[in-house]
Amino acid sequence: AMTRANDVLVGEWTIEALPRVLDVIAHTRLGRDVDELVRQRLVAGVRAGCASGALPMDVIALICQTCCAMVTRRRGRGHRGDKGGEVSDDADDESDEDEDGNADAGTRDGTRAWIDVLEMVSETTAKTRASAGRATRRAGRLNATFASSLIDAYMNKPSTGAICTALVLLTSIVGAGDESTSSRVVQAVIHVANAATEADISNFIDASEDEDVRCLVSVLVSSKDPLTVASINLLRVITSFRREVYTSVVGGLLQQMPSRTNAIEALEQIMQREQLTTEEKSKISEHIQNAVRCIPELSHTMGKVASSRVLRILAPLATMNAVNELIEKDEISSVVSGLGLVKEMLKCGLNVSQGMQALHRVLISADEHTPVQQTVFEIIASSLQDGVSIDASVLEKAESKAIERSTESLNMIRSLLTDGQWSYGLDESICCSVASALNLICALSTEQASTPNARVIREGVETICVLRETLKKTMEQQNGAFEVEVDNDSVADDAENCPSVLLPLAPLRLMVETVLDAILSHSEQFKHILDDIQLGLAGSCSWESWIITLLLDTHLKLSQLQPKQDCVSVLSVSGCSSLLVLAVEFGDTEWSLEQRFHVMTLCGEVLKTHFSSEDERCTLLLDSCASQCLDTLHEHWFAFNNGKLRSDVLSVKGTMMSLQTLQSVCWVAISRSTKASLEKSPALESIQSLISNALNDKVLERGVKSVVAFAKPHLKRNSVINAGRASTKSPISSMVALLISSLHHQVQQTYSLDEPLESWDSVISECLVLLDILLPMTAFELNENELVENAVLMLENVVIQFRELPAQVICEITRSVLKFHEQRSSLPDCLKTASRMLKIAMRYTLDTLPSFPQQLITLMIAVNDIVLRLTKQGNGVDLYSMRDAFVSLTSVLVKISSILMRDVYEKQSVCDGVANFLTLVNSAMYQSIEAASELCLAQNTAANIDGQRIDAALVLAGARLHHSTAKMIELFPLTELQKLELQRCEFMTVCAGVFTNLRALQLTLAHDAPLDCSLVAIANALALDDITKYSENLRRLGESVQTVTGSRATAGSVPNSNASSRENSSSKPRKRVRNPYLDAVIAQEGGRQDEYDDMADFIVCKPGRNYRDVLGLT
């Protein structure tokens, strides 16, 4: 039988005989050589047969099924190394181990090899890829272990095939296998899909059945992870290729709007291309209805800007029945939300007559000062400005109410301001009410103002003049200065210098915004209305310049009273554009720096609130605002030009405000861009265009050259210049390099002085926020990963090099570096980086308890989030890779513990910082217990020696952590440390088992197979309680079992081992000559014992003296 099978496999294969060959392959045990030969012949035959068209699809399907069967057969089995080229019957009682006893390695290699065959066969044509997908789906349903085998292979070794092929194979087994396997498959699908290009998705859709496409969409939409730019673009591309999944995507995202990060951005980009049909709306009507009901809650939790975006999304989907359901509720928030939907519907030209009826009903029943009436006024004013026709009866009723409301409110406000009674007589609802009424009257007066309307507008401007005089007089009494005249270059006082008595006046900024926007948009018409109001007008100053400066200055003062209030700006895009043009034209001669900075801030707010990719005015404002911000950075930020240090307050403030506005501009360009370009992400295209238009290539080159020269100091000058020129094709990466190099130059200049200049530290925080917005987008620029990684390395060097930086700055830089690695690195590597950065931040920022900066607590929470993701079941991370990362974290926690306990001598309460530290300690102790539990059962084989070394390192690090946290039990309430104390007790119990097992192995295997040096080290450490040195140098100790050529020593052959030079050496560990002083020095400074051996004979120690106390280590 073996001879016949061997003849079939080695002989000639014909298409007619191929089913017989495949049957032999599936039911015969293959040796290594034959297995490899069979795989090569299958791939070559499929490629040749498909190229000639001679290979039928049913044979290809049979080949794919055979590959799946071999994947399943390889699970739990390995190749026999002594079989050579022979084949054998498929007997279950045969040993599956190779000659080294390493069954797992053979199993993984064999499984991966047959998956490679399946991938190569499937990549021949679109039809073969589809056939492979059907075969994997069939195998997943027939055999419960197939899905587990496939996902194990993908997790243990990355696929070498195309991304579309991996998507086809993985989506076909979603839902197969047990719950853990299914979860791992879903995570793998998300990971592969996020790396897919449009071509990959196109190939996937061509090769997949409708069930697989729906499955992929379901996985992406139902995930709880935040939606990244990659996943948003992926959903957009899928819906553009397959209209039938459009409703599933929109419905799922509507359901997740309240809870999933970036779901709103995803809906904006996906729904921009085309709207749902009536039939499609009916399919997801329940999701639409639920989303409409959630609007009031979203407005409360996410803010007014986010809720306005939700309203724009839902307006084309919602029905008037859903709107009326909100309007008829008793809650004001529900009525306002319903009216907001009416406003967006009117903009889209939907349900106009029903919307007018709803406005009329609400207008009649609404109270005067409630937000409901204000919202009605805003809707009518906005509709008039957008050219929407309003029903005459509604317009007449609204105008009469607005005139009545504004006249009464303006008279009352002027009276309160004149009498100085605003502190208790001016209510916020009155301010908002008069602003909305005045907005409607201004909208009605853009063409021809009636006499009552003109009178109200004049009264509004007069009230603003009284308000400005009140602000001026009050602040002069309190601070001694206020005025900002048209030609004054001084800077107004900051918000913290404003008297608290003026705070009730802050809501009046809406009224000022309303008049300012009306004059900016229709200056000629309003000049005719206000020609008799020229109080304090200078002779050389035009009327427009005077009135706009007065309004802008008043608005600036009111904004400084409450700069962080959640107030949606009523300025229009056209008004903001005019204001920005005036800021450039007036310059320093007529407007102060503070006023020009305020214009940029207003532009950022308006873009966030009112940006629409369909409105060309928004795009022009976006580009103009970005150019103005970067021009201001050139002017005021010395580091942006690699210039000399400037310490004036104006430069710091100008740089901060420019960076803040640039943050808004970049955020809008990324999250709100919906240009329908399928070639690449619209967000990527938008931000690239923005940066390229605002900055010239030479400026970007300068930043790139600085980063390249820092990362590769050995490069010649011409190579650095060429690198700078080449990188300008990737503007986002170049912008990141420019910002980081500027930041590095600033810190060099400000902290190289005898007394550091900390006034520029606030610029670091704003720059880091901007970097957090730009860095995720760099992943989509081709061939620029190295540049960005070098730039982040330069940023990290800022923390390492300049230890004088304040705690807040160190933690913020560390957090930004960590966020970058979270997006780019695997979870184990990310935890290693997080451990290293946490160690740096702790070393520089924490002196004594409870001085935990809030930024440091935030950093510890971020590290804990990584730990939770890494230890989450079904994440697909290799066990020993995870434990290797925990070795790094545990060692850092030991250092942190020594810092925490350094100056604490009395009972302490558990502050937030200590609580977060304890969370990390508990996770590290748990992993140490798990590693120790496996070492209790360890055998002296070469099969898993690498894993045992990692376990040994983790146990030793855990022992050090156990020792370093002992003092915490005495200094903190025991009720807060119950979990830690239980784990410490369990850890010592398990360590006793580790010591017993390793000592037994040393005694029983000493002659034939000496125990690995890393395991000898842990046994010695546990016996001598000498855990400090071994854990830090365990890698070096483990390498002592490597041969000179670098190959791993097998059992029974340990080259260069001193264990073979003497009898029973492993059972009697060598006693080192100990010097207490040198031991203390090593504990403090680090290093290896042999580095200090030559000093041991010359340093005489006093018997019984504790030199750790002498060096201050206790």
pLDDT tens track for 583-595: 888 776 778 888 8
Position with higher pLDDT, 10 vs 960: 960
Phi and psi at residue 1008, in whole multiples of 5°?
A: -85, -45
1056: pLDDT strictly greater than 60: no
Report the alpha-carbon distance of residue 865 to residue 627 in Å, rounded: 38
Residue with tokens 């400037």, as numbered in its chain = 646
Q: What is the pLDDT of residue 384?
A: 85
97: pLDDT strictly greater than 70: no
402: pLDDT strictly greater than 50: yes
Report the alpha-carbon distance of residue 470 to residue 457 in Å, rounded: 20
| HSE, side-chain direction, 13 A CA sphere, residue 760 | 23
User: 915-932: per-residue pLDDT in tens?
Assistant: 778 888 888 988 889 888
677: pLDDT strictly greater than 70: no
User: 312-342: per-residue pLDDT in tens?
Assistant: 888 888 888 888 888 888 888 888 888 888 8
- CA 937 vs. chain centroid, Å, equals 41
Q: What is the pLDDT of residue 99?
A: 40
Contacts of 357 (CB under 8 A, 6+ apart): none
Q: Which of 35-44, 345-354, 893-902 has the lowest mean pLDDT?
A: 893-902
Report the alpha-carbon distance of residue 728 to residue 743 in Å, rounded: 20
Whole-structure pTM value: 0.68
Q: What is the pLDDT of residue 771?
A: 92
194: pLDDT strictly greater than 70: yes
- Decide: helix, strand or coil at residue 29: strand
Q: Looking at residues 865-883, what average pLDDT do you find?
A: 78
Q: What is the pLDDT of residue 88?
A: 47
Token output for 88: 């054998």
Token output for 680: 């690449």
Report the alpha-carbon distance of residue 264 to residue 266 in Å, rounded: 5
Contacts of 286 (CB under 8 A, 6+ apart): none
Q: What is the pLDDT of residue 681?
A: 53
User: 990-1029: per-residue pLDDT in tens?
Assistant: 888 887 887 777 777 555 566 677 677 666 666 654 444 4
Do residues 230 and 194 touch, judged by C-beta distance below 8 A? yes
Q: What is the pLDDT of residue 1034?
A: 40
505: pLDDT strictly greater than 80: yes
493: pLDDT strictly greater than 50: no
Token output for 433: 């009410």
Contacts of 463 (CB under 8 A, 6+ apart): 410, 413, 414, 417, 511
Q: Looking at residues 560-573, what average pLDDT do you find?
A: 70
Q: Which of 68-77, 963-972, 1004-1013 has the lowest mean pLDDT?
A: 1004-1013
755: pLDDT strictly greater than 90: no
Residue 742 pLDDT grade (very low, low, confident, very high; cuts 50, 70, 90)? very high
Please name which of 852, 789, 860 lies closest in space to residue 823, comparing C-alpha atoms.
789
Report the alpha-carbon distance of residue 599 to residue 451 in Å, rounded: 33
Report the alpha-carbon distance of residue 686 to residue 785 in Å, rounded: 20
Report the alpha-carbon distance of residue 993 to residue 999 in Å, rounded: 10
- Decide: helix, strand or coil at residue 87: strand
Report the alpha-carbon distance of residue 1005 to residue 1066 in Å, rounded: 9
Phi and psi at residue 673, in whole multiples of 5°?
A: -75, 135
Do residues 317 and 333 touch, judged by C-beta distance below 8 A? no
| 764 C-beta neighbours (distance < 10 Å), count | 21
78: pLDDT strictly greater than 70: no
Contacts of 709 (CB under 8 A, 6+ apart): 715, 720
51: pLDDT strictly greater than 60: yes
Mean pLDDT of the chain: 76
Report the alpha-carbon distance of residue 1113 to residue 1109 in Å, rounded: 6
b/e per residue, 934-957, with b = 16+ CB within 10 A? Answer: bbeebebebbbbebbbbbbbbbbb
User: 204-237: per-residue pLDDT in tens?
Assistant: 888 887 888 888 888 888 887 777 767 777 788 8
Position with higher pLDDT, 300 vs 77: 300
| Pair type for strands 87-89 and 28-30 | antiparallel
Q: What is the pLDDT of residue 1021?
A: 66
Alpha helix segments (H runs only) across 445-538: 451-479, 509-521, 523-529
